[in-house]
Amino acid sequence: MKAAVVARAGSTPVYADFHDPHPATGEHRVAVTAAALSPVVKSRASGAHYSSSEAFPFVAGIDGVGRLDDGRRVYFLLPRAPFGSMAEATIVPSSNCVPLPDGLDDITAAAIANPGLSSWAAFRERAKLSPGETVLINGATGTSGRLAIQVARHWGAKKVIATGRSEAALRTTGADEIVVLTEDTDALDNAFKQSFAGGVDVVLDYLWGKSAERLLIAAARFTQEGVPIRFVQIGHSSGANINLSAMTLRSAALELTGTGLGSVALPRILQTVDELFRAAVKDGFEMPTRAVPLSQIDQMWSSTTAPPRIVFTMPAKA
């Protein structure tokens, strides 16, 4: 079969032949129709992600959409190594498949699953967002951040504040308030001060780095006694490390947590995906996508996380 094959750590996947998958007891063979390109897929392929495999070669991709042998459409997560989602077919534990609801097409499902899961799990599993609360999304101009705004609305957020480097892009997110992430630290601190002075209950952070440092300092200054600000770390496109004073955490009611593979039990992740898909049909979640044949994997691999989201489609015959 044809697949996006990673030959060694750090190498770009190539469109090549890979041996056919044969399911064992308790597994499904999935004829893949769509698989999205995401930061975690790139990170795992490079060997940099904490869940990366050390065995090569393998097929790229951790999730996707396809059909079982009986014709059912499913979303699937974490195929059995060395198989991945970016192939004509893959093997997945039967328990790792979620039926797709009518009204949600394969491309959209593949596109929203990973970014939608990040914010859905953050709001429900970590922050416990309640209707009427205010949310700040740090890094809202990428695909995940934009979808997070829609998910926040779904769960009844009263106000959504969006941050990002491009003012023009921020104004297209639909947020109630925007903060431009300038390199001027004083200006950035002042902007965050104004946002937190108005009240912020939950922060979703897709960036880490400098902006997260300044956000945590601002949050610490405006927490109310006994009413913590819940800060959920999701991505680190601005850097993997920050400098955080111990006094910042000791002097304020801050709850600092993270969400990702391993932080939420797999059965709950799959239930969350099912909830997300149903909400996407009900509320009409939108995400700009670009469907690309898997044969173009090498040209598209370096694409950024900014919209549209790249979704690879498989050859018609698996």
- Residue 266: inside a domain, yes or no? no
Q: Is residue 305 domain-resident?
A: yes
Task: Please tell me whether residue 139 adopts helix, strand or coil conformation.
Answer: coil
* Position 145 in a domain: yes
| Gap between the Cα atoms of 236 and 139, Å rounded | 10
Do 33 and 167 fall within a single domain? no
- Please tell me the distance from the alpha carbon of residue 235 to that of residue 202, in angstroms, as a whole number: 16
Residue type at position 155: W
Domains in the chain, number: 2
* Residue 270 resides in a domain: no
CATH of the domain at 140: 3.40.50.720
Report pLDDT for 318: 43
* Alpha helical stretches, state H, the chain: 39-46, 106-121, 143-154, 167-170, 185-197, 209-222, 246-250, 266-283, 297-300
| DSSP label at residue 127 | I
Do 140 and 249 share a domain, yes or no? yes
Contact yes or no for 147/277 (Cβ under 8 A): no
Same domain flag for 78 and 122: no
* Residue 271 domain flag: no
The answer to whether residue 263 is domain-embedded is no
Structure tokens at 148: 């997070």
Note whether residue 282 is domain-resident: no
Residues 81 and 130 in one domain: no
275 falls within a domain: no
**Pair 130, 191 in one domain:** yes
For residues 169 and 85, membership in a common domain is answered with no
CB 37 within 8 A of CB 114: no
Does 125 lie in the same domain as 79?
no
Domain with 39 in it: what CATH number? 3.90.180.10
The residue written with tokens 């093997």 in the block is: 91
| Residue 244 belongs to domain spanning | 116-258
Among residues 218, 243, 258, the one where a domain terminates is 258
> Do β-strands 202-205 and 229-233 pair in parallel, antiparallel, or remain unpaired?
parallel
Domain boundary among 237, 258, 279: 258
Helix (H) or strand (E) holding 315, with range, is none
Q: What is the pLDDT of residue 317?
A: 56
Burial class of residue 262, CB neighbours in 10 A (0-12, 13-18, 19+): exposed
Distance, in Å, from the CA atom of 156 to the CA atom of 148, rounded to the nearest integer, reads: 12
The residue among 89, 77, 96, 82 whose CA lies nearest residue 27 is: 96
pTM score, two decimals?
A: 0.90
DSSP-based helix, strand, coil % in the chain, nearest 5: 35, 25, 40
Structure tokens at 159: 């106000």
Query: Do 96 and 200 fall within a single domain?
Result: no
Q: Give CA–CA dist 240/230, Å, rounded.
A: 20
Mean pLDDT per 10-residue segment, the chain (318 residues): 91 95 97 94 71 78 97 97 97 98 97 95 95 98 95 98 97 97 95 94 97 94 81 93 90 89 88 96 94 95 82 78
Q: Are residues 138 and 203 in the same domain?
A: yes
The position carrying tokens 């002097």 is 251
Q: Which of 243, 258, 273 is the last residue of a domain?
A: 258
The whole-angstrom separation of Cα 170 and Cα 146 is 9
Residues 226 and 298 in one domain: no
Q: Are residues 77 and 17 part of one domain?
A: yes
Query: Looking at residue 48, what is its pLDDT?
Result: 55
> Residue 66's closest CA among 103, 95, 100?
100
Alpha carbon distance 100, 274 (integer Å): 8
Assess whether 300 and 246 both reside in one domain: no
